[in-house]
Amino acid sequence: MRQWFAQWFVPLVLASFAGAALAESEKPPQAAPCPAALPADTRCLNGRDSAGAGYWIALPAGWKNGVLVLHAHGGPELGEPKLERSAEDLTRWAVVVKAGYAWAGSTYRQGGFAVRAAAEDTERLRRIFIEHVGLPQRTILHGQSWGAGVAAKAAEMFTATSDAKRPYDGVLLTSGVLGGATRSYDFRLDLRVVYQAVCGNHPKPDEPQYPLWQGLPLGAPLTRAELAARVDDCTGIRKKPEERSDEQRRRLETLLKVVRIPESSLLGHLNRATWDFQDIVFKRLDGANPFGNEGAVYSGSADDAALNAKVARYRADPAAVARLAADADLTGQIAVPVLTVHAIHDPVAFVELESAFHETMQSAHGGARLVQVFTSEAEHSYLSDPEYPALLEALMVWLDRGERPSTRSVEQRCLRAEKAFGKGCRFVDYQPAPLESRVTPRRR
């Protein structure tokens, strides 16, 4: 009964609030100087919507193709949203405007982990664009990283406009965290418990102790610089390899092998498992625990038995899991074509998350509407300039002509795009392994 309630009733109630939240009248955006990365003849606008989210809009000269790319940014960003964040996104994705597409991106109304709210803010921006800029011939919903989950959620939530037309024609998800919040962050709890077992300084023995699933207690004075210093004390991660002690090398090797993350992303993931977890637990779930590791058997250390005996074990609160799932898990009920791209060696969002998303789409009978392509890169935040126009073009051809993309067809489009946007095509045939092959399984 509880599972049924979480899957159907809670989203229904939240959807009703979403409709109310989008009903406010919206002020027109104002003309603004474009970021320097955009072509000189680009027209830019920015503003703040009725819910408090800032946004930027950019239109190429003439806007000949009539296609709007509606961007959902990654993160989540903690703290108050700033208009500069959207300007940074526009700068990063300047190639979209250079390729002839209009672009619009929201800061979201609030910082922190709130997927449905971010989806509402993204949809509100689409409506602002239509009211004050113009009606696009096509609208492509683009989500990056955590924003890929926001975009997928928006495609699930908003399926028809007042005239019964679909608000989005297609969805492009890049480097996506697409396993749903109740699965995508298991490895970060693993990182916290293994790190504490190995290093014992987060928290330190003389500090107040707390369950690690909290991330950090409210009001705790720990800073990111202080955490980085603790990680360096334990592992020597900020030192050259030859400057690390033997004990630091052993600790670092244990962490990387057991949690299966690259050295370059260790501190970033630990930051997220600290302050993002704090945001989720205290600001979204009233202090309840959505993360568990019962039944997880960790391997890869010099003494796995000793490690497993030492790590802390936690049982997730089913009600907290249900609340988190209602906000941030995906159903796969997306009625339009979805194209995803993921770097095989992505150090932040594991490529195996694509397997989880494929399962989700298949379970909703949406496999025919999903195409997944991969690159040989080891990047997360941005791949290469020619790859994005190629992906957008492939998605548009799918929409307009019914020609389903393939790795080969996207690669060919990318090679043609190199003439305008420089070298960088790295599409490869690839089949990601199940998420459970990368993240230690546990009882649920």
Q: Where are the domains of the chain?
A: 2-180+329-427, 185-320
d(CA 104, CA 127): 11
Return the CATH superfamily for domain 2-180+329-427. Alpha/Beta hydrolase fold, catalytic domain (3.40.50.1820)
Q: Which pLDDT score is estimated for 24?
A: 61
What pTM, to 2 d.p., does this model score? 0.92
In sign, the C-alpha dihedral spanning 378, 382, 385, 390 is: positive
Q: Which pLDDT score is estimated for 43?
A: 98
Q: Which pLDDT score is estimated for 164?
A: 58
Helix, strand or coil for residue 10? helix
Instruction: Copy the structure tokens of residue 87.
Output: 């300007």
Q: Which pLDDT score is estimated for 161?
A: 66
d(CA 104, CA 123): 11
Intervals of the chain under pLDDT 50: 1-21
The Cα-based distances of 301 to 256, 268, 275, 435 in angstroms read 9, 22, 27, 21
- How many residues are listed for the chain in this entry? 444
d(CA 148, CA 153): 8
Q: Which pLDDT score is estimated for 25?
A: 80
Q: Which pLDDT score is estimated for 262?
A: 96
The Cα-based distances of 434 to 27, 147, 166, 359, 361 in angstroms read 46, 22, 32, 9, 14
